[in-house]
Structure 1
C-alpha cells in the first residue's frame, strides 16, 4: 500500500492509538488479529470510521483485481449483473443505429481517404474471440498496408510501437481511435458493446489462454470498443503486460455497472483527444 500514490498512510501499531479525522481504517481481515485488535476494529466502525479490507482498498486505488489465486475471486463474486447486461445491450444497439445513420457521410469520407492513401479495401476484417468465447469477425477501418509484414500469424497480429506497416491516414485514425468506429456493425449484431474488455485476435487469445490463468473468464461480458484496461493502460501485447491488462478487465467485470461505464466513456473521450496508448 505504501507504494500507491495520492494517499497519506498512518500505521497503527497499538490498540491505544486513535487517529482523528481519518478517511478509514484498512485491515487485513484474513489475518488472525486476536481479540484485542478485533475489539479495536469494532470500536472504530461504531465510532463512524469506515473499516476496509486491504484487498478492497488496493482494488479501489489501482483499478485492478488480482487474480493469481481463485480463492481471491470466486466466480460467484465476478458474475456480472444480468439485468444490467440486457439494459446495456439495448442501449448499445439503439445508440449504434443512430450513430451509423448520423455519421454515414463521415464514415464514407474516411473510407475514401483510406482508399486514396494506399491500396486495399477501406475495411479491415479480423477473427477475434468474443462474447462467451465465440469467434466473431470484427471490423475496423484499415490503418495498415495490405500484404505487409513477414512472420507467423501471431507476430502479424501484434502491432508494435511505431509499426512501419501503418499508413499516413492510418496513423491519425489509430491515434484518435476513429479506426474502431466500424465496430458499430458488431454492436448491431449483438457481438460487441461500446464498453467492455477489448476482443483479441483468435491467435493471440489462444496464446494468452495457454499462458495466463483465468484468461477465458474475461469473455463473460461482451467485448467493447473501449474498456477499463484501454483507458488505464493503453495497447499492450507482451504476456506480462497482458496479465496486468487482465487485472483491469477483472476489475471491470467485478464492478460492472452503469457508473463505471460512464467513467470509461469520459476517459475514452480524453484518450481520443490525447492519443494515449495508441500504436
Structure 2
C-alpha cells in the first residue's frame, strides 16, 4: 500500500486511478478532435486546451471516486464496476454542463461533451477489462511472513482470504510449542536462520502476531530481519492499515501513545477544517432553506408535533449540546424510553423514511456545524445515556470524543447505523481510526464517499 497523508491506498487502486486519469484526458481530447473534424476546423495544439482537458478529467475522476468506482466490490465485479462508471461519468458530465452554463465560453463546448462521455465510458471499461484480471494477482499483493501461529495468526490467515486482500502470507512461524491454530506453521526451532527463511519465502514484510509479547519478543531475530531490509510490523498496526479500523481486541494504551497519530489539534489542519465548516454550512443553510421548510411542512402535515427534532448529544471533550434534525419518527417514538434504531423501524413515518434515505433530515445540523458544536466530518454524536452505557462496555470509547462529532464520518460510510452494543463496537474501531489518522485529505475522501452512501444507502436506518 501507498501511504498518502496518513491514509493507506492499495497499489492496485493507485495504478488503476492513474491509468483512468490518462484515459479521461485522452477521451476528451479525442472528442475535441472529432468535433473539430466535423466542422472542418483545426483542433490546434493539445497544449492550448490543457486547462479544459484537466477540468473534464478532474471532475469525472472525482465523481468516480465519490460513487465507489475504486472500492473492493468495483475491483472484483465487472458488472458492479460498469454500473458505477456509467453513473460517475454521467454525474461528471452533468457537473461540467452546469459549470459551462455558469461560466459560458470558459469550459468545453457543450457539443463535445457527448463525444467525451462516450469515449470516456468505452476507454474506462476497456481499462477494467484489461487491468481487472491482474489487479487481484500476486503482483499487486505484498508477501508477508507471520511470526506466531495462534489466534492472531488465524485472523491474519482469514483476512488474507477475503476478496480484494492486499497481501499473501508466505509462511507462519510458531515461536513456541504452544497452541497452533493455523495450518502449515513451521516451528521456530526447525529454522536455523530466520533471516534466511524470510529470504527463501521472498517475504517483503514480517508481522509480529505473538499472543503474549511479555518476555517473548524475539529481538535477535527481529534485528536480523530488519537489517536485511525487510519491513517489520506489529499486529495492531498491520490490522489498522489493512482494514481502516483500530482493532479493539489487541489495542493497548502504549500502542496508542507511541504510534503515529492523533494530530487533529494541530493549528493549521484544525483551522482549515473550521473555515471549511463555516463557509459550507452557511452556504448550505441559505441554499437549502426552501427544501428544509418544504419538508418541515410535509412532516407536520403527516404527523402532529414539531417538524424539528431536538435532542441532547455528547460532543467534543464530552460536552453536551442540542442537535437539530428534521423529525423522521412519530412524536411519541420514545414514549417508553430511549431505544436503538431498528431495520424497517415502525416508528418512522412515510415522509421520514424518504428524508432519511436522501439525508434531507440531516440538513438542519448545518446550524450545529455553523455554531461550532459539530463538524461536517467526525464520529456520530450519541445520546448521553447511550454514551454512559457504551463507555462502561467498550474500552477507549471516550477517545472518540477527542474530535468534534460530524454529520458524516469514516464509520458512517463504512458501516450501517449502529443498532446494538456489538455494532457500536465495530463503529468505534472506525471512529478511532479517524481520530488517530485525521487529515484534511481523509475528510475529503469521506465527503466524496458520502455521495455513494446517499445514492446507494445500504444499511441506512
Superposed, which structure 2 residues align to 1:183-202 within 5 Å? 183-202=365-384
Superposed, which structure 2 residues align to 1:1-279 within 5 Å? 1-4=156-159, 5=162, 6=165, 7-11=167-171, 14-17=194-197, 18=199, 24-28=204-208, 32-45=217-230, 50-67=231-248, 68-74=251-257, 77-83=261-267, 84-152=269-337, 154-155=338-339, 158-279=340-461
Contact 1:198 1:224 (8 Å CA) reproduced? yes
Deviation of 1:210 after TM superposition, in Å, equals: 2.3
Deviation of 1:65 after TM superposition, in Å, equals: 0.9
For structure 1, the residue ranges without an aligned partner over 5 or more in a row are none
**How far apart, in 1, do the equivalents of 2:258 and 2:206 lie?**
25
Contact 1:66 1:72 (8 Å CA) reproduced? no
Secondary structure of 2:229 counterpart: helix
Deviation of 1:216 after TM superposition, in Å, equals: 1.6
Q: Which has the higher contact order (CA 8 A, sep 6+)?
A: 1
Contact 1:230 1:277 (8 Å CA) reproduced? no
- C-alpha distance after superposition, 1:244-267 (max 9, x if no partner): 211111100110111111111122
Q: TM-score, normalised by structure 1?
A: 0.88
Ranges of 4+ aligned residues in structure 1 off by more than 4 Å: 19-22
**How far apart, in 2, do the equivalents of 1:187 and 1:62 lie?**
29
**How far apart, in 1, do the equivalents of 2:222 and 2:290 lie?**
66
For structure 2, the residue ranges without an aligned partner over 5 or more in a row are 1-155, 174-193
**How far apart, in 2, do the equivalents of 1:161 and 1:56 lie?**
34
**How far apart, in 2, do the equivalents of 1:217 and 1:37 lie?**
32
**How far apart, in 2, do the equivalents of 1:38 and 1:140 lie?**
56
Higher helix proportion: 2
**How far apart, in 2, do the equivalents of 1:75 and 1:210 lie?**
25
Larger Rg: 2
Q: TM-score, normalised by structure 2?
A: 0.55
Contact 2:264 2:270 (8 Å CA) reproduced? yes
**How far apart, in 1, do the equivalents of 2:206 and 2:356 lie?**
42
**How far apart, in 2, do the equivalents of 1:11 and 1:185 lie?**
54
**How far apart, in 1, do the equivalents of 2:201 and 2:390 lie?**
47
Deviation of 1:144 after TM superposition, in Å, equals: 0.5
